[in-house]
Structure 1
Amino acid sequence: MFDCMNTNTSIDLEILELQHQVELCFELAETFFNHKFQPSHCNFKQKGRAAGTAHLQKNELRFNHFMYQQDPVEFLNTVVPHEVAHIIVYQIYGTSVRPHGKEWQAVMKKVYQLSPNRTHTFDLPPTKNSYLYACTCRQHEFTKRRHSRAQKGVEYICKQCHSCLTFIKDMHQTESATSNDM
Structure 2
Amino acid sequence: MRDGQRSIRFNPWIFARYFDANLAVTVPHEVAHYVVDVLHGAARVRPHGPEWRAVMRRFGVDDRASARFDLSGLPVRRQRRFGYRCLCRSHALTTCRHNRILRGQAVYHCRRCGAELVYAPAANTPQSGVE
The TM-score, its normalising length taken from structure 2, stands at: 0.56
Taking only aligned residues, the RMSD between alpha carbons, in angstroms, comes to 3.0
Spell out, residue by residue over 1:106-139, the C-alpha distance to the aligned partner (whole angstroms, 9 max, x if none).
1101x211221222222333336xxxxxxxxxxx
Aligned residues: 90
Once residues 73 and 144 of structure 1 are traced to their aligned partners in structure 2, the CA distance between those partners, rounded to angstroms, is 28
Give the structure with higher Rg (CA): 1
The TM-score, its normalising length taken from structure 1, stands at: 0.41
- Aligned to 1:85, the other structure's residue is in SS state helix
What's the counterpart of residue 68 of structure 2? Answer: 121
Structure 2's unaligned 5+ residue stretches are: 93-111, 113-125
Shift of 1:63: 0.6
Correspondence 1:143-158 to 2 at 5 A: 143-146=78-81, 149-150=82-83, 154-156=90-92
1:105 and 2:53 correspond: yes
Indicate which of 73, 81, 94 corresponds to 2:41: 94
Shift of 1:84: 0.3
Task: Pick the structure with more strand per residue.
Answer: 1
Spell out, residue by residue over 1:84-110, the C-alpha distance to the aligned partner (whole angstroms, 9 max, x if none).
00111111112321111100001101x
Distance 1:91 1:72, change over 3 A: same
Which structure 1 residue ranges, 4+ long, deviate > 4 Å from structure 2?
none
Task: Pick the structure with more helix per residue.
Answer: 1
**Percent identical:** 33
Distance 1:58 1:99, change over 3 A: farther
Once residues 6 and 76 of structure 2 are traced to their aligned partners in structure 1, the CA distance between those partners, rounded to angstroms, is 28
What's the counterpart of residue 167 of structure 1? Answer: 128
Shift of 1:59: 1.4
Once residues 8 and 19 of structure 2 are traced to their aligned partners in structure 1, the CA distance between those partners, rounded to angstroms, is 16
The answer to which structure, 1 or 2, has the higher relative contact order (CA under 8 A, 6+ apart) is 2
